[in-house]
Structure 1
Amino acid sequence: MTLMSFARDHVMDVYRYAERKGAIEAIEVAAADLGIDVGEMREAVCHLVDSRLLRPDDGAGERYAPVDPELAAASLVSTVEREIYRRRELIDQIKERVGLVRPSPEASRSTVDYLVGAMEVRGFLKTASDACRDEVLVLQGGGVVGDLSETYLDLLARGVTVRIICQHRNRADIGTRMRMKRLTDAGASVYTVSHVPRSATVFDRSLVVLFGADDTEANVARVHNQGIAQFFLDLFNHLWETATPLEGIDFGYAGVADDLQQSIAVLMAKGYTDEVVARKLGMSVRSCRRHIATMMRDLDATSRFQAGVQAARKYLTAE
């Protein structure tokens, strides 16, 4: 048995020792306490450091503090994801140079590929964010989209402009509102609208990331096409002009009640049920019914359909 394999037999003993003591203060002392050879102790410590389960805790590198296993695993996954996409981008560059992916200028203007799975998606978004230099535009709708607030905070810290359009429903969720407050405090501009049809992100006005609508698994399409990018830029700017800025930390729909009621009225006038209206606007059925009840009371309507028609006509006339 080699020294390395023998030392790894002691890895868990060394980690538990560090947890019990709060830290490994000195290699020699810890080796004596555990009754193992100093060389084996050093090998076990090196293995734990490589696994992110121990971290050097002083300038000399002789004191090692234990790291929570979940944090260690997350750190390793992040490193692996970044390396995967660094290599993917390198492969794409090599293929481009030899003409296997983009054999002509026409082909180079339009490329679309798809990524499926949380690890693939997170790794790609990390790579795209690292490469971003000027501006990120975010349409935050439904679908499987993880919380990217930390990514946006990193971009803001680097001086990248971040503008986000999300749905009014985010105003009523305390956890989401607190995350958005952190973003606005860091310099992001966050606006809300009644409905965002699909989640998408545009990096530096050129790379479009379109998030899938599948609620079971994270998936994205990344599009390198200037025409498509311009379409999303135009869509974003159109929504931005009609959206309501998120200000302060107050929760609820008070600042966007008229906009919500207008959207609800249009859908009611088309005969949709409460459940369908709520789903289309990304809000709870209970909140939707509360808005409908208020609308019916204000309009003195005797039915949902009558209220929808009257309200839709009212808002159309107001415009």
Structure 2
Amino acid sequence: MSTDALSRISWTPSFGGRLVEDDGIDAQDRVNAQCIEVYHYIVRHGAIAPSGFDRVAVELGRTGHEVVSTIMQLVELRLLRTDGAVGGRLVPVDPQYAATLLVSPIERAIYQQRELADQLRERIDSIAGARDSAVVPGGSIDRLEGVAELRGLLKQAADVCRDELVVLRPSHDDDEVLDRLLEACHGVLDRGVSVRIISPHRSRAGFASRAKSRRLIDGGAAIRTISQVPQASVVFDRSLAVVFGTSADGLLPTGHRVRDENVVRYLIEMFDQLWEGAAPLAADETGYADEVADDLQRSIALLMAQGLTDEAVARRLGMSVRTCRRHIAALLRSLGSVSRFQAGVQVATRFATGSPLGT
């Protein structure tokens, strides 16, 4: 079990401010340090019974009161639970799972409050519109900001999704944030909902991304890849879409919730067109198949022909500059080209005539 994530979990004390004790150490930092120390101790030992609290205090050089107080805080943080055995032993809980147990109800409550506000706004707009046809009711497209709001929205939408979930999953520097958001949707697989995901070709190459894809495919999702995936988005039951972005300062994820049927239909039609031309990904597949490699090299060459730099090409295709340069070098060798522009022109010509690369 990974315990590094504990250091990122901050205990919020019941008092309003932060206290600094006589030795100059912040009281909250001291409590966090005790939580980390005791939690790591229990992880190493696998479990702890109430009769063993005194031993923990002795081995860690803490008072009995400090150990009991710290264990109570770990239980409140869902980082410890009883195992149901006689004697009520406490066993450690994975930090990510504990965070989900604590945060999910908060995220759900935030989204429900947002839904209530939207319903009130739409009701007022509809009443105003009945009196004056010039008033246009709003609410078909609105904006949310922050991980908590977005996860609450996605979890709520996933809970009522019954038929189909489609996902456009590009690759960017904020992969971890997007994955955290999309995890809220994966529960639909347990209910047999059809899930289709389009990812970039580069997701076939990395070990971590292949592992994520394998888990989804094993759960019942269908995944295909293309060279460039447009804006990240999710569509639930062809009726509700969420299009992701970032705030103006680039610090927070944002999302536009779309309920306008024409916009949602456009997103679905775009997804279906991309899906038809995408390459299926199998759970046991590693690296690039010939078809995928050709498509990726063609995309690189066409971007090169536009005069884009290595950095710009890499950004467009959602890959690192180093990986992009490796593909460019291989492409130049296969085509026998002496320049980037020449390679782009050759690929464009062969694509137009239907000739394969490297011939």
Instruction: Please indicate the TM-score interval, normalised by the length of the shorter structure.
Output: 0.7 to 0.9
Instruction: For residue 211 of structure 1, give the secondary structure of its aligned residue in structure 2.
Output: strand
With over 3 angstroms needed to count, the CA separation of the structure-2 counterparts of 1:159 and 1:101, relative to structure 1, is farther
1:226 to 2:258 alignment: no
Give yes or no for the alignment of 1:270 onto 2:306. yes
Query: Aligned ranges for residues 280-291 of structure 1 at < 5 Å?
Result: 280-291=316-327
Following the alignment from structure 2 to structure 1, what is the Cα–Cα distance between the partners of residues 38 and 207? Answer: 39
User: Structure 2 residue aligned with 1:252, among 254, 271, 287?
Assistant: 287
Alignment partner, residue 83 of structure 1: 109
How far apart are the structure 2 equivalents of 1:56 and 1:107? 55
Q: What displacement does 1:115 show?
A: 1.3
Counterpart among 90, 106, 111 of residue 65 in structure 1: 90
Give runs of aligned pairs for residues 194-233 of structure 1, distance below 5 A. Answer: 194-213=227-246, 215-233=250-268
Q: Which residue of 1 aligns with 2:153?
A: 124
Q: Do the aligned partners of residues 88 and 56 (structure 1) sit closer, same or farther apart at CA in structure 2, a change above 3 Å counting?
A: farther
User: What's the offset of the Cα at 1:318?
Assistant: 0.8
- Deviations along 1:113-160, one digit per CA (max 9) or x if unpaired, are 211112222222111111211111100114544215644442111111
CA distance in structure 2 between the partners assigned to 1:303 and 1:181 by the alignment: 38
- Contact kept in structure 2, 1:114 and 1:222, CA below 8 Å: yes
Shift of residue 294 of structure 1?
2.7
For 2:46 and 2:353, locate their aligned partners in 1 and report how far apart those are by CA, in whole Å: 74
Contact 2:171–2:319 (8 Å) recurs in 1: no
Residue 250 of structure 1 aligns to a residue whose secondary structure is coil
**Paired residue secondary structure (1:283):** coil
For the aligned residue pairs, the C-alpha RMSD in angstroms reads: 3.7
Aligned runs of 1:280-319 on 2, under 5 Å? 280-318=316-354
SS in 1 for 2:165: strand
C-alpha displacement at 1:241, in angstroms? 0.9
Question: Residue 178 of structure 1: which of 179, 198, 211 is its match?
Answer: 211
Residue 352 of structure 2 aligns to a residue in which SS? helix
> Deviation at 1:84?
2.3
- 3-state SS of 1:222 partner: strand
Q: Is the 8 A contact 2:155 2:185 kept in 1?
A: no
Residues 157-204 of structure 1: CA distance to partner in whole angstroms, max 9, x if unpaired? 111110000101111111011110111111110000000121010011
Q: 1:31 maps to what in 2? A: none
1:53–1:67 CA contact under 8 A, matched in 2 = yes
Partners of 2:141 and 2:259 within 8 A in 1: yes
242-251 vs 173-182, which moves further: 242-251
Instruction: Read off the aligned partner of 1:65 and give its amino acid letter.
Output: L
Mean alpha-carbon deviation: is it higher for 178-187 or for 281-290? 281-290
- Tell me the equivalent position of 1:243: 278
Q: Distance in 2 between matches of 1:217 and 1:270?
A: 32
Letter in 2 for 1:84: I
> What is the rounded CA distance, in whole Å, between the counterparts of 1:127 and 1:222 in structure 2?
12
CA distance in 2 between partners of 1:285 and 1:35 (Å): 55
- The 1:304/1:130 distance shift into structure 2, 3 A limit, reads same
Measure how far apart 1:73 and its partner are: 4.2
* Farther-moved stretch of structure 1 (162-171 vs 261-270): 261-270
The separation in 1 between residues aligned to 2:206 and 2:251, in whole angstroms, is: 22
User: Tell me, which stretches of 5 or more residues in structure 1 are unaligned?
Assistant: 1-11, 27-33
Pick which of 49-58 and 192-201 moved more: 49-58
Aligned partners of 1:107, 1:161: CA distance in 2, in Å? 35
**Contact preservation (8 Å) 1:134, 1:160:** yes
Gaps of 5+ in 2: 1-33, 52-62
One-letter amino acid of the counterpart of residue 261, structure 1: Q
Are 1:181 and 1:249, in contact at CA under 8 Å, matched by a contact in 2?
yes
TM-score, normalised to structure 1, is: 0.78
Q: Distance in 1 between matches of 2:327 and 2:64?
A: 71
1:282 Cα shift?
Answer: 1.1
SS of residue matched to 1:147: helix
